[in-house]
Amino acid sequence: MEKNVIIGNVRESGPQAIDAIATPFKDSEEAWFWYCRYEERSVFRSGKGARDVLRPCQLDDIYICVARLFIDKKIGRRHIKTLVKYGNLLVPPDPRIEAEAMDALWWDDALDKLHTILAKKGVVERAKRDFMRAANDG
C-alpha cells in the first residue's frame, strides 16, 4: 500500500502548492536509482519523468545523505565505488554472478545504512531488507 507524506517546502521554481503530497520511495535502492537517473540529466530539469511522482526530497538530499555516511566513516570508498558503478547502470549487482558477489555485499551494506537516514527523514517507506524479505516471501 502506498503511503503519502505531507511536505511543506517543495524547492522548485515556478508556481507550486506550498503543502504538496509526496510519495516516499519503497526503499533506499529505489531512492538511489532515482538520484542516479536524474542527477545530471535534462529530463529532470525539464519537468518530465522525474516529476511525474512528487518525492519527499530533492536530488541534493540523497547526495548529502551519502556524503554524510562517508564523512562519518559509516561507508568507505568501496561502498561509494559500488554505488556509483551500479547506479550508473541502473541495476543492482547480482550476488549469483561471481564477479558481482562482493559488490552485492558492499551495495547492500551501503543501502542499509542509507536507509536509516532516509527513513528518519520520511523519504523511504521501509527498510530494504524488509522489502527484500517481503519480495522473497511471495
Predicted local confidence at residue 127, as pLDDT: 54
Q: Which of the four pLDDT bands, split at 50, 70 and 90, describes residue 21? A: confident
Mapped onto helix, strand or coil, the DSSP state of residue 25 is strand
pLDDT digits (tens, 9 = 90+) for 70-127: 999 999 999 999 999 999 999 999 999 999 999 999 999 999 999 999 999 999 986 5
Measured CA to CA in angstroms, residue 7 lies from 4, 45, 51, 63, 131 at distances of 10, 20, 15, 19, 24
pLDDT digits (tens, 9 = 90+) for 28-69: 999 999 999 987 654 444 444 445 678 889 889 999 999 999
Domain ranges of the chain: 5-133
Give the rounded percent of residues in the chain with a pLDDT score beyond 70: 67
Dist CA 87 CA 72 (whole Å): 22
DSSP 84: H
Q: In angstroms, how far is the first alpha carbon of the chain from the final one?
A: 15
Dist CA 123 CA 116 (whole Å): 10
Exposure of 13 in the CB half-sphere (CA atoms within 13 A): 4
